[in-house]
């Protein structure tokens, strides 16, 4: 069933994800409109698109986050739909609603669903109702220090205080004993208020050494939903993922089926549509708990594409036209192993941004190697945006072969003129614990010792 034609899409983003969306649009015979800031006139997504419109000055707030400017560009170019990519306006319920009101299809879930998942207390409550396991914690935002104390004693220390409007690790505090609870709670609330203009916080039992495992789902607008297995995202630093892989070295087929079924069932319960990701914390005993849901395509989607042969962006667009999912769960298989290394324009030791001119650029090739990037020799990495300049993705029959393939690829990857995280990835690939699959979200803290 298809009730909406999409002939032309505006990509409300920049960088590699804008290029990634354009590739699939080209394959589907869909015309594309790039938007760009004044700093991005020479950007690759501008050259790849059929049309390009400048939407404002370099700072994101005046360009890629400027809703009136983007809607104007969409109206002028007469597009049928907007693809938001990730970051920027991808999880703005306001933007999704305005698109809808302007009769432009937002390629993502309904605005109400985006808003609900953006409120972590509400998301948690919704997931409990949909049968998704969550950690013992507060059913609502914390109202008083007394309530926090009562709950904490029930749950047992350590606990974690999280901002309801936060996410991605911003505004969290670990509390290890009752005597520090009140002060930490107050700090968390005032930090949340300052950072998100919303002081609501909630508490949960704290897991010391979890793994971050996420399930990719695809849901059409008619209640059909499938999962595409998990991604292992535990290797991160300061809540920034460094590399991801699929499948996870510790998830068994039975565990995958269980986690996938829970995610798919939840999607049906909440009327979720389009691509989405359920983030789980996996405990050392194999228990898993819902953390957050991402209502967009993710940076790390390629590792899932490599092991399933699905084109996630194509599925997003098909779903947005109102078509049924083209495959059922039984059609989907996980084949081989994929790893993605995020190449950032950063000092690999200090993790400070390293913008500037790329004087030499060489990308690896050969079987099972994919590079998603928007940079080229002579390109100047602007200082205004995210520092990720490329994703190096490999696919091989086994994890061991994928690590080997990644090492060979990293060896021939050349980015000169700026500092990058390539040397760090080489060290991680050579690490015995990484190779053994023996790690948690604490891996980088221990790695640096």
| Residues near ligand MV4, by CB under 6 A | 135, 160, 167-169, 204-207, 210, 212, 236, 239, 281, 291-292, 441
SS3 state of residue 53: strand
Question: Is the peptide bond between 247 and the residue preceding it cis, with omega within 30 degrees of 0?
Answer: yes
Considering the complex, what minimum distance in angstroms separates the CB of residue 138 from ligand MV4?
12
Task: Give the separation between CA 430 and CA 421, rounded to whole angstroms.
Answer: 15
CB 263 within 8 A of CB 228: no
Of residues 236 and 329, the one with the C-beta less far from ligand MV4: 236
Task: Give the separation between CA 337 and CA 249, rounded to whole angstroms.
Answer: 9
Task: Give the separation between CA 5 and CA 80, rounded to whole angstroms.
Answer: 8
SS3 state of residue 346: strand
Considering the complex, what minimum distance in angstroms separates the CB of residue 289 from ligand MV4?
7
Of 361, 350, 366, 354, the C-alpha closest to 407 is 366
Task: Give the separation between CA 345 and CA 303, rounded to whole angstroms.
Answer: 21
List the structure tokens of 318: 């098909």
The residues that are catalytic are 296
Of residues 175 and 207, the one with the C-beta less far from ligand MV4: 207
Considering the complex, what minimum distance in angstroms separates the CB of residue 410 from ligand MV4?
23
Of residues 209 and 397, the one with the C-beta less far from ligand MV4: 209
Task: Give the separation between CA 298 and CA 46, rounded to whole angstroms.
Answer: 21
Considering the complex, what minimum distance in angstroms separates the CB of residue 444 from ligand MV4?
9
Which pairs count as long-range contacts for 89-98, CB under 8 Å and 24+ apart, including other chains?
Answer: 89/12, 89/64, 89/65, 90/13, 90/295, 90/296, 90/297, 91/117, 91/118, 91/294, 91/295, 91/296, 92/67, 93/118, 94/67, 95/12, 95/67, 95/70, 98/67, 98/71
List the structure tokens of 34: 């790039």
CB 363 within 8 A of CB 436: no
Considering the complex, what minimum distance in angstroms separates the CB of residue 359 from ligand MV4?
34
Considering the complex, what minimum distance in angstroms separates the CB of residue 439 from ligand MV4?
11
DSSP letter for each residue of 196-263: HS---EEEEEPPSS-EEEEEEEEE-TTS-EEEEEEEE---EETTEE-EEEES-TT--HHHHHHHHHHH
Of residues 220 and 230, the one with the C-beta less far from ligand MV4: 230
Of 225, 429, 185, the C-alpha closest to 315 is 225
Start-to-end C-alpha separation, the chain: 56
Considering the complex, what minimum distance in angstroms separates the CB of residue 205 from ligand MV4?
6
Considering the complex, what minimum distance in angstroms separates the CB of residue 434 from ligand MV4?
16
The pairing of strands 274-282 and 8-11 is unpaired
């Amino acid at each position: 069933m298809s009730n909406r034609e999409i002939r032309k899409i505006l990509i409300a983003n920049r960088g590699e994800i804008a290029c990634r969306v354009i590739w699939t649009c080209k394959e589907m015979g869909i015309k594309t409109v790039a938007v760009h800031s004044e700093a991005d006139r020479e950007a690759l997504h501008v050259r790849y698109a059929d049309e390009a419109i400048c939407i404002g000055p370099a700072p994101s707030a005046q360009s890629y986050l400027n809703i009136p400017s983007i809607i104007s560009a969409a109206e002028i170019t007469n597009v049928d739909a907007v693809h938001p990519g990730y970051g920027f306006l991808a999880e703005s319920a306001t933007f999704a609603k305005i698109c809808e009101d302007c009769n432009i299809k937002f390629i993502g879930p309904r605005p109400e669903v985006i808003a609900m998942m953006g409120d972590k207390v509400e998301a948690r409550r919704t997931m409990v109702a949909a049968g998704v396991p969550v950690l013992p914690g507060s059913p609502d935002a914390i109202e008083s220090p007394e309530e926090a104390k009562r709950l904490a004693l029930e749950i047992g220390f350590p606990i974690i205080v999280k901002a309801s409007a936060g996410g991605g690790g911003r505004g969290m505090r670990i509390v290890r004993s009752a005597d520090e609870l009140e002060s930490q709670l107050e700090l968390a609330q005032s930090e949340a208020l300052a950072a998100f203009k919303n002081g609501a916080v909630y508490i949960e039992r704290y897991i010391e050494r979890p793994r971050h495992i996420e399930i990719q789902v695809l849901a059409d607008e008619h209640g059909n939903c499938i999962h595409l297995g998990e991604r292992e995202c535990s290797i991160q630093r300061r809540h920034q993922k460094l590399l991801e892989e699929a499948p996870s070295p510790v998830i068994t087929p039975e565990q995958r089926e269980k986690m996938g079924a829970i995610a798919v069932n939840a999607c049906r319960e909440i009327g979720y549509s389009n691509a989405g990701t359920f983030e789980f914390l996996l405990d050392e005993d194999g228990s898993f708990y819902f953390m957050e849901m991402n209502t967009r395509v993710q940076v790390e989607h390629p590792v899932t594409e490599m092991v399933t042969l699905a084109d996630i962006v194509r599925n997003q667009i098909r779903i947005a036209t109102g078509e049924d999912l083209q495959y059922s769960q039984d059609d989907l298989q996980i084949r081989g192993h994929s790893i993605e290394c995020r190449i950032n324009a950063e000092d690999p030791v200090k993790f400070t941004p390293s913008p500037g001119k790329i004087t030499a650029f060489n990308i690896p090739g050969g079987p099972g190697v994919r590079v998603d990037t928007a940079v080229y020799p002579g390109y100047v990495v602007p200082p205004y945006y995210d520092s990720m300049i490329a994703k190096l993705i490999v696919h091989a029959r086994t994890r061991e072969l994928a690590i080997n393939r990644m090492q060979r690829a990293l060896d021939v990857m050349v980015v000169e003129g700026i500092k990058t995280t390539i040397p760090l990835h080489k060290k991680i690939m050579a690490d015995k614990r990484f190779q053994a699959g023996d790690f948690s979200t604490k891996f980088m803290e221990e790695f640096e010792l």
